[in-house]
Amino acid sequence: MTHTLPTRPSLGLDEGGLLDAYRTMRIIREFEERVHAEFATGDIPGFVHLYAGEEASATGVCARLDDRDTIASTHRGHGHCIAKGVDVKEMMAEIYGRSTGSCHGKGGSMHIADLSKGMLGANGIVGGGPPLICGTALAAKQQNTGGVGVAFFGDGASNQGTTLESLNLASVWNLPAIFVAENNGYAEATASTWSVAADNIADRAAGFGMPGVIVDGFDFFAVYEAAGEAIERARDGGGPTLIEVKFTRYYGHFEGDQQTYRGDEVARARETLDCLKRFRERVTESGQLEASALDAIDVQVADLIEAAVVEAKQAPMPTAADLETDVYVTY
């Protein structure tokens, strides 16, 4: 049964939690905006897919997770990485292909991972994540850790067979898995309203025997609420949930995408819907946080991102000696 969660005032987040949430979203935003700028100079190799605009989703979900829990991500993975606690400087170095990067320069933007933090990696294959999360959720169940697995995927991946099979398997095996469909309106250059046969991705949940919920992706608190309910259900052995997060991405499918297929939704979103703006408005209007505290975070984050870029640009490249290492554990 699909329903839309009305936004409610923040529940269960104390001052520290709110500051963390803001900091996380701000880091993601500044990270992505900076990568956008740097990419335009030609310094960053390969493809990058930016999460700017979507911060509330990764942040709201990951605020409910701990080290027992795993997430799988997509090619648009920087936000999930940051929200799950992957080191920001190592991420930036990885994007620049440096040996100090999260993956020693061998993965790049689309494959940043930190298995020690339960971050199974950004994934270059659309729909590659959900089956893996069925696995990590199965492991959590077998090992009795109380942990859950969260599969982030896009509206494009929501049509991929791997995703649909995973929804079914998670229900059949009653896995502690949460499927978060981040519907930003486009799969590459194709509108999700066209490619998704149902009215909402969340409508598919019933077809797979699990609850489905639609959430305003620009609203951190709405995501936090929905994620909390789903994660609690999973931890209690109540099985999987499908959450559809609706929002928009501020940039193209990849950097370099001219986005001629789009209307003017980005400008509107930045102006009136932006998750950081709305968060700031809510917490300051309700008196939970002082604006100055948020400003301070803005400054710290700016410094962090600047340092990350400077250090990344100065970091050494991997060498020929690194080319053939780490294909296998044992040779």
Partner 1 sequence: MARMISYREAINEALAQEMQRDPSVIVMGEDNAGGAGSPGEDDAWGGVLGVTKGLYHRFPGRVLDTPISESAFVGAAIGAATRGLRPVAELMFIDFMGVCFDQIFNQAAKFRYMFGGKAVTPVVIRTMYGAGLSAAAQHSQCLYPIFTHIPGLKVVLPSTPYEAKGLLIQSIRDDDPVIFCEHKALYDTTGDVPAGSYTIPFGEANVVRDGDDVTIVALGRMVSVAEQAATELARSGVQAEIIDPRTTSPLDTDTILESVERTGRLVVVDEASPRCGMAADISALVAQHAFGALRAPIELVTAPHTPVPFSAALESLYIPDAQRVVNAVKTVTSWER
**28-32 long-range contacts, Cβ below 8 Å, gap at least 24?**
28/52, 28/55, 28/58, 28/59, 28/78, 28/79, 28/82, 28/83, 29/55, 29/276, 30/301, 30/302, 30/304, 30/305, 31/78, 31/82, 31/88, 31/91, 31/92, 31/305, 31/308, 32/78, 32/79, 32/251
The CB-of-310 to partner 1 minimum distance in angstroms stands at 22
Residue 133 binds partner 1, judged by CB under 8 A? yes
Residue 172 binds partner 1, judged by CB under 8 A? yes
Residue 149 binds partner 1, judged by CB under 8 A? yes
* Matching residue, tokens 């409610």: 8
The CB-of-232 to partner 1 minimum distance in angstroms stands at 21
Contacts of 60 (CB under 8 A, 6+ apart): 21, 220, 221, 222, 223, 224, 226, 227
Distance of alpha carbon 313 from alpha carbon 306, whole angstroms: 11
* Near partner 1 by CB under 8 A: residue from 125, 189, 291, 296: 125
Residue 165 binds partner 1, judged by CB under 8 A? yes
Half-sphere exposure of 58 (CA within 13 A, CB side): 34
Q: How many residues bind partner 1 (CB under 8 A)?
A: 48
Residue 327 binds partner 1, judged by CB under 8 A? yes
Q: Which amino acid is at 72?
A: A
* Near partner 1 by CB under 8 A: residue from 1, 41, 142, 264: 142
The CB-of-35 to partner 1 minimum distance in angstroms stands at 19
Nearest to 215 by CA among 191, 247, 241: 247
* Near partner 1 by CB under 8 A: residue from 24, 136, 183, 241: 136
From the list 2-10, 117-125, 195-203, 216-224, the region that binds partner 1 by CB under 8 A is: 117-125
Closer to partner 1 at the Cβ: 108 or 217?
A: 108
Nearest to 219 by CA among 149, 164, 139, 274: 274
Residue 176 binds partner 1, judged by CB under 8 A? no
Residue 161 binds partner 1, judged by CB under 8 A? yes
* Helix count and strand count (H, E) for the chain: 12, 8
CB atoms near residue 203 (< 10 Å): 17
Per-residue x/- track, 22-61, partner 1 (CB under 8 A): ----------------------------------------
Per-residue x/- track, 77-116, partner 1 (CB under 8 A): ------------------------xxxxxxx---x-xxxx
Residue 194 binds partner 1, judged by CB under 8 A? no
CB atoms near residue 105 (< 10 Å): 21
The CB-of-48 to partner 1 minimum distance in angstroms stands at 16
Residues that bind partner 1 (CB under 8 A): 70, 72, 101-107, 111, 113-116, 120-121, 123-125, 128, 130-136, 138-140, 142-143, 149, 161-162, 165-166, 168-169, 172-173, 325-331
